[in-house]
Structure 1
């Protein structure tokens, strides 16, 4: 039997709340992001055996992995219709993969832990559902580490790289612009400025890690990310594809009518 083909890694902007289960103007506002997610599986060289999802919505003292065979749900949003608090995305977990990843992280000198109770948060299930609506690809969530050190999350990505040759699709789920107070005309200029920096910083792997570690010096960086938890999944995805080119696979300049936002593929 042939070995699995090496899979790329992704940093995906995941949108807000339970948008894939909404109708009307909000859902229409996500049409370009949704198209990028629904088309992603066909762009892969092979169907993944599992997804390793690094969500911006989970932080722990150690890099922590879901280890349940059947993760539940975490409705980590507010103010949405009642039916969005009954969503179930029943993708199976993958306890053996969780243990494998924890071993890779510990072998690389970083702390790792398992959590058998953690469910899928919206950074995971709202990203995975448009890609795999049948929920038939096993998924394991991996937390960020408190402190949000870019170098540490790049190092985490490097440790995860062997999984790409084992049929595991590594996805960093965050948002290229995450200032919820400026999802309006006031965010137009800063989102465009920061995204222009991403478009310049990410394609060429030479020096990319150094550029990412200095992300806070980018134009409008702290306006785009007052707190960087939605950017740190990018570090993991880039670290897992060190030395390989990056490509923008989703770009929108009128998200919420004004915001520039993007997603990237590495490898």
Structure 2
């Protein structure tokens, strides 16, 4: 069955694994609980269990789209200031080098110069949400980088190039945050973050696929755009997921508030 594509929030650092007594069991501050519950339900929400996952994270950028072709990636603990046990977490899912090479070939066919690498570990935009969604680590995962120029149109087009993977049992996931301004929180964030979230959701869920893509690509025209994303690397995975989503229905699959930030996830069927 054809898989949907997803844009998921991956939380803040290792926020779902803060219990030093049982670090492998998701345990978070109550403010993160709705997001944790959403991530934990992802696989059950799919039409069938995916054969593999292609994931693009807001924490990996290269000069050209690049896929990780390693068979057993390690973890890259690219967060700072958290308890010591959060730097010994494990998530031992296998890599998916065949899927990575297939994704690279599709991107090349669409005219995108594409690279491969196998040394970099999975960043926390991969292993933190996937450790919640896939605690058994039993589905192969391939990671795709963002392109460093963060061009919305290019990332939407890359998603379109990758869309055939959906018919091959592959779940395409963009992992980022719909709001990502760590300098503001609480009451100073609530009103502008909510206004941004409502405008972004209206654009993402536009029933006309062409208008949807155009409105999201023009994200800087939405209210409070640069307040929500002083730099847009956490928004660009949405562009890939939207492009791969094609003309299917687009829905808001998650909505919550964390530290005054309205946060959403989206699904494209």
TM class by shorter chain equals over 0.9
CA distance in 1, matches of 2:207, 2:150: 22
CA RMSD in angstroms comes to 1.3
Structure 1 length-normalised TM: 0.95
Structure 2 equivalent of residue 217 of structure 1:
221
Task: Please state if 1:208 is matched with 2:204.
Answer: no
State the 1:19 CA deviation: 1.5
Alignment of 1:17-166 (within 5 A): 17-23=13-19, 26-166=28-168
Q: Which structure 2 residue ranges, 5 or more long, are not aligned?
A: 21-26
SS in 1 for 2:82: coil
Structure 1 equivalent of residue 8 of structure 2:
12
Contact 2:200–2:216 (CA<8 Å) still a contact in 1? no
Task: Please state if 1:238 is matched with 2:234.
Answer: no
State the 1:228 CA deviation: 0.3
CA distance in 2, matches of 1:78, 1:211: 35
Contact 2:16–2:28 (CA<8 Å) still a contact in 1? no
CA distance in 1, matches of 2:163, 2:250: 15
State the 1:177 CA deviation: 0.4
State the 1:26 CA deviation: 4.9
SS in 1 for 2:16: helix
SS in 1 for 2:262: strand
Q: Which moved more, 1:152-161 or 1:122-131?
A: 122-131
Between the two proteins, the alignment pairs up a number of residues equal to: 261
Contact 1:192–1:259 (CA<8 Å) still a contact in 2? yes
CA distance in 2, matches of 1:106, 1:124: 24
Contact 1:49–1:168 (CA<8 Å) still a contact in 2? yes
Alignment of 1:165-180 (within 5 A): 165-180=167-182
SS in 2 for 1:57: strand
Contact 2:200–2:219 (CA<8 Å) still a contact in 1? no
Contact 1:51–1:171 (CA<8 Å) still a contact in 2? yes
Task: Please state if 1:248 is matched with 2:244.
Answer: no
CA distance in 2, matches of 1:41, 1:133: 11
State the 1:205 CA deviation: 4.1
Contact 1:68–1:93 (CA<8 Å) still a contact in 2? yes
Contact 1:205–1:242 (CA<8 Å) still a contact in 2? no
State the 1:242 CA deviation: 1.8
Q: Which structure 1 residue ranges, 5 or more long, are not aligned?
A: none
SS in 2 for 1:58: strand
State the 1:20 CA deviation: 2.1
After superposition, the C-alpha distances for 1:29-59 in whole angstroms (9 at most, x for unaligned) are 2100011111111110010011111000000
Contact 1:57–1:123 (CA<8 Å) still a contact in 2? yes
State the 1:198 CA deviation: 1.7
Contact 1:195–1:261 (CA<8 Å) still a contact in 2? yes
Contact 1:12–1:174 (CA<8 Å) still a contact in 2? yes
CA distance in 2, matches of 1:194, 1:64: 30
Structure 2 length-normalised TM: 0.94
CA distance in 2, matches of 1:187, 1:137: 37
